[in-house]
Amino acid sequence: MKCLVVLAHPLKNSLCKHLANKTISHLESKGYIVTVKDLYEESFNPALSENERDSYYQEFDSSQLEDDIMQLKTAESIVLLFPTWWFGFPAILKGWFDRVWAPGHAYEHATDFGPIRQSLNNLKEMKVVTTLGSPWWVDFFILRQPVRKVLKIALLGACAKNCKFTMLSLYKSENLTKSKIDGFVKRIEKKF
């Protein structure tokens, strides 16, 4: 299965990078053909340009994003690895969604501005690994898992019909022991 791993963390020695390396090794051992897209390493520009936004309801101006869009359109599996900051996405990852999951590629606008139609029929699964500084109960009970909802309901619901979704969150990530990190890696290997 062709797998696009998208990593969004600015630090080379971060917990996210460690989890990404472990996840990539595991996926490759399971036979996935992995392409890694490290948004910070590539200096991905998250800002939607004026031309891109202006073309949203015409033919989307994908001239600056051809390779990124092709990676998305040919992936059968996507793995996202990122920290959850302020119960949202790092700006660089949100910008990747804004610019790459674009009309005419990830979905189609209806001519009457009605419901959009999904276009990522190739995408069979999305797997997510994220870290949070907060305890689990804040994410579940107070904020009601906003990141999970955006990914599963908004993004996949709009763009990828019948895509399996799996999300693993590592809570209280700023104060972990090696054994807790190793235990989380084992969860990744079991679920993925």
Instruction: Note whether 171 and 118 are within 8 A (CB).
Output: no
First to last CA, the chain: 13
Q: State how far the Cα of 143 lies from the Cα of 74, in Å rounded to an integer.
A: 34
What are the sequence ranges of the domains in the chain? 2-191
The token duo for 149 is 């909802």
Q: How far is CA 146 from CA 84, 89, 91, 129, in A?
A: 10, 10, 15, 15
pLDDT at residue 141 greater than cutoff 90 = yes
pLDDT at residue 1 greater than cutoff 90 = yes
2-191: CATH homologous superfamily?
Answer: Flavodoxin domain (3.40.50.360)
Confidence of residue 114 (pLDDT cuts 50, 70, 90): confident
More confident residue, 33 or 113: 33
Query: What is the pLDDT, as a whole number, of residue 118?
Result: 95
Instruction: Note whether 60 and 99 are within 8 A (CB).
Output: no
pLDDT at residue 161 greater than cutoff 90 = no
Instruction: Note whether 167 and 128 are within 8 A (CB).
Output: yes
Please give the average per-residue pLDDT across 156-163, as a whole number: 94
Please give the average per-residue pLDDT across 123-132, as a whole number: 98
Confidence of residue 106 (pLDDT cuts 50, 70, 90): very high
Q: Which of 68, 3, 73, 57 is nearest to 32 (CA)?
A: 3
Residue given tokens 């090794």 in the structure block: 25
- pTM for this one? 0.96
